[in-house]
Amino acid sequence: MTNILVTGGAGYIGSHACKTLAAAGYTPITYDNLSTGWQEAVKFGPFEQGDLTDRTRLDQIFAAYQPVAVMHFAALSQVGESMSNPGLYWHNNVAGSLCLMQAAVAAGCLDLVFSSTCATYGNQDNVVLDESCAQHPINAYGASKRAIEDILRDFEAAHGLRHVIFRYFNVAGADPAAEIGEFHQPETHLIPLILDAIEGKRDALTIFGTDYDTPDGTCIRDYVHVCDLVDAHLLGLKWLEESKGSRAFNLGTGTGFSVREVIDQSATVSNRTVPVIEGPRRAGDCTRLVSGSTRATKELGWQPKRSTLRQMIGDALRWHQTGHYDK
């Protein structure tokens, strides 16, 4: 079987990618320091614990498994934390990714699929966010991801490191079989926070900002199901296998939902009341982030199948009720 090194494979998106890779006949090799991931999520291939900044450990992993490609998910991703502690994000995300690329090149592993973010675009209200848009991140998280994209381009020019960059919009949902799912400590994502509030695991959901220039005053985001997202990564891997060249793709549905709309739909799907309190805006939050790109559909043949709000909430609820790693 063909080995794929999956950094961050014990995390939310990485573990779903490992399941999809295994189903497609690959062997995913999870490399994770477990700072935000869960060893219980590693069910589909070997697990190797280690940090991205540990070059010696990375060299050992490349030598032992000889992966043909890397799927790079490992990163810190909390916007608020990146605003208060930017050095942590530049060290972990950028320096770690640089170390990974150097190890990959040294090992002759020259195909890399990179987990980037729509946060690289910054706050561009009333702009259709496609891959041609200028990247002006307004927080250190988005800036660190943009920097990694720049490094990838330099490494391609100097070393032939081919890459596919995926700029995610808001990832949601869970494995429909509830075998793996989303669980962070602390939790920062909207849908699991809503489900915690519904189940009484927190007193209420806080809406951060109700005075944005949107129809109901709350931020608008484009949500994509995690299973649809990792399907795109498999297509990106095949794109590189077919030597089609390096490329960046947005991954979103083109439809935006406000925080209040997600709350209302969660109440409908769960048939429960969502306790809510209103708070001030958070630093670094954009008003509206919605993908206008069709590049992934046209060039990769990507078709989101589960990315309706009802489906994403329903799958997340099923996981929430049955699959937490802390149980």
Which of 296, 30, 319 is closest to 169 using CA atoms? 296
Cβ-based neighbour number of residue 297 at 10 Å: 14
Q: How far is CA 25 from CA 18, 154, 236, in A?
A: 11, 32, 16
Strands 247-251 and 276-279: unpaired
Residues 6+ apart with CB under 8 A from 279: 206, 207, 208, 209
Pair of tokens at residue 105: 């090149």
Residue 31 a catalytic site member: no
Task: Kindly name the residue from 89, 141, 212, 223 that is annotated as catalytic.
Answer: 141
Beta pairing class for 276-279 and 205-208: parallel
Instruction: Kindly list the catalytic residues.
Output: 141
